[in-house]
A and B are shown apart, each in its own frame.
Chain A
């Protein structure tokens, strides 16, 4: 079976500096992969390369389209790539302000992708927006409010709803719980886990928080200085880390 997303030797360098180096991985439908590592280890660079936001210096990223073609992202035209980004893919930013259109209401934020793929029926767009806001636990009467009036946790949930409305098959998440307080984090993780299972989404989650990786992912990759130093099933890596750096990472989690 061809994987949904596959990377072969992906390398990104910024001049002489290495962003990420020679990363290969594959992701199948419905699978959740966590990329963990400390700040500056190249997690976000890798995520941006995989999602086509950054051109790679070397290597290839391939994706299986809905029609079954397994194509390299460089071979798609820019129009096709952008269409992919707003239909088949979702991207959840760490800072919700980067992922939301802050100037318009929550309902318009959720409806934007539907309008972008050609839906021209207000009633239908509105009904979907209501449906999705309810699914991410935002009260229906907040639909016409601006995201500015939302709390951090609500903004993050709104961002997720906005991404999922076109039923993507793959969602990229960059520190989805970063900057939220612990109880809000827990609820958000719960929500993401439920949605991923229910919608059979594939996801790549970048995080520095091992707890997030443990809760969401089935497999994980540990990165250090732009290289992948360990990969495996999440439980296996966390229970029995092999690389010295992973051992250090696992042992530095505070036990309460």
Chain B
């Protein structure tokens, strides 16, 4: 049996053109959610169908692709998306952050500083930051149009009132270029400062919700906060148990059923590099 004849990167050229148009519009209006005709992809919603479509639209045969899931290159989601593009586009792949020209990510931004030659593609489950406070799409669009973002602070107020601090730790809302409030996808708030003034182009794709938005290189991204409760990132009491890093995002790993646990870097490439491997 012959292997199926896919177009380069699975999507047909017309579809890629449609997605590129949406991406260009998104870059022109930083943080604005551009609707696009999201396609059915050969993977379930929630597995990164939005990110995969964005990657497919910007991918060229010369690109080197890196795919991470929760910072790791070897988790199910990352492995299957990497295989998908090897099969449909035959591009080079890598686990090294600085070798990649396109990085598709779920839930993290790599620890290594990104460059102007890179594109970071985020998989987004719910693009609308106002959704949990205002269920009507007509109303949330109007709120964005009129810059009515008071309710975002209502959520932060609730956090402080109940927990004494801003307890939102991921998908932490931020304002792009002093205009649109956006949801940076479920990255930990530890990564929010990396969004700000980033040299790389950052693209966000939500497949099920059919939205694309973007942060152009070197754009101001400010996390929302109160004057007397400023934005803070997570900290840990201990360094990474493997590489000893004190300034990376750590995952807690349970090692046995007697309470043993380990804190290690979530960015596997960064951790290996710190240890002098790879």
A contacts, CB < 8 Å to B: 78-79, 82, 101, 103-105, 107-108, 111-113, 115-118, 120-123, 125-126, 143-144
A112 to chain B, nearest CB (A): 5
Asked if A144 and B161 sit within 8 Å, CB to CB, the answer is yes
Q: What number of B residues sit within 8 Å (CB to CB) of A?
A: 19
Are B228 and A122 touching (Cβ within 8 A)?
A: yes
Name B's A-contacting residues (CB within 8 A): 133, 142, 146, 148, 150-151, 153-155, 157-158, 160-162, 225-229
Q: A123 CA to B164 CA in the complex, in Å?
A: 12
A105–B226 touching, CB < 8 Å: no
Instruction: Name B166's closest neighbour in chain A (CB-CB).
Output: A122
Contacts of A113 in B (CB 8 A): 150
CA gap between A113 and B151 in the complex, in Å: 9
* B contact residues around A105 at 8 Å (CB): 158, 161-162
Q: In the complex, what's the smallest C-beta–C-beta distance from B232 to chain A, in angstroms?
A: 14
Contact yes or no, A78 B146, CB < 8 A: yes
Given contacts A115-B157, A116-B151, 13 further A-B contacts (CB under 8 A): A78-B142, A78-B146, A101-B133, A101-B154, A105-B158, A107-B161, A115-B154, A116-B150, A120-B226, A121-B227, A122-B157, A125-B157, A144-B161
Q: Please name 22 pairs of A and B residues whose Cβ atoms are closer than 8 Å in the assembled complex, sorted by A.
A: A79-B146, A82-B146, A82-B148, A103-B133, A104-B154, A104-B155, A104-B158, A105-B162, A108-B154, A111-B154, A111-B157, A112-B151, A112-B154, A113-B150, A115-B157, A116-B151, A117-B150, A120-B153, A120-B225, A121-B227, A125-B157, A143-B161
User: Which B residues are CB-close (under 8 A) to A118?
Assistant: 150
Question: Quick one: closest B residue to A122, CB to CB?
Answer: B226
Residue in chain B with minimal CB distance to A103: B133
Chain A residues with CB below 8 A from B153, complex form: 115, 120
Separation of A180 and B118 alpha carbons in the complex (Å): 63
Instruction: Determine which of A79, A108, A123 lies in contact with B158 in the assembled complex, contact meaning CB atoms within 8 Å.
Output: A108
Q: Which residues of A contact B142 (CB under 8 A)?
A: 78
**B211 to nearest A CB, angstroms?**
23
- The 8 Å CB contact of B157, one of A78, A82, A108, is A108
The answer to whether A121 and B157 touch across the interface, beta carbons within 8 angstroms, is no
Contacts of B228 in A (CB 8 A): 121-123
- A82 and B150 alpha carbons, distance in the complex (Å): 13
Question: Which of A78, A101, A108, A111 has the most CB atoms of chain B within a 10 A radius of its CB?
Answer: A108
With A and B bound together, what is the CA distance between A79 and B145 in angstroms? Answer: 9
Q: For residue B229, which residues in chain A have a CB less than 8 angstroms away from its CB?
A: 122
Q: Which residue of B lies closest to A112 (CB)?
A: B154
- Give chain A nearest CB distance to B17 CB in angstroms: 35
Q: What's the Cα separation between A101 and B161 when bound, in Å?
A: 16
Contact B148 A116 (CB under 8 A): yes
Interchain CA distance A79-B226 in the complex, whole Å: 24
Chain B residue with Cβ nearest A86: B150
**Min CB distance, B175 to chain A, in Å?**
12
User: Which residues of the other chain, B, contact A104 by a CB distance below 8 angstroms?
Assistant: 154-155, 157-158
- CA gap between A79 and B228 in the complex, in Å: 29
Q: How far is the CA of A111 from the CA of B160 in the complex (A)?
A: 13
Contact B161 A112 (CB under 8 A): no
Contacts of B158 in A (CB 8 A): 104-105, 108
Q: Which chain A residue lies CB-closest to B146?
A: A79
The reply to whether B151 and A144 contact each other, CB–CB distance below 8 Å, is: no
Name the CB-closest residue of A to B225. A120
Contact pick for B226, options A116, A117, A121, CB 8 Å: A121
Distance, CA A116 to CA B155, complexed state (A): 12
A112-B151, A121-B227, A123-B228 known; A107-B157 Cβ under 8 A: yes
Q: Which residues of A contact B154 (CB under 8 A)?
A: 101, 104, 108, 111-112, 115
| Contact for A108 among B161, B225, B226, B227, CB less than 8 A | B161
CB distance from A81 to the nearest CB of B (A): 10
Q: Give every chain B residue within 8 A of A123 (Cβ-Cβ).
A: 228
How far apart are A142's CB and chain B's nearest CB, in angstroms?
12
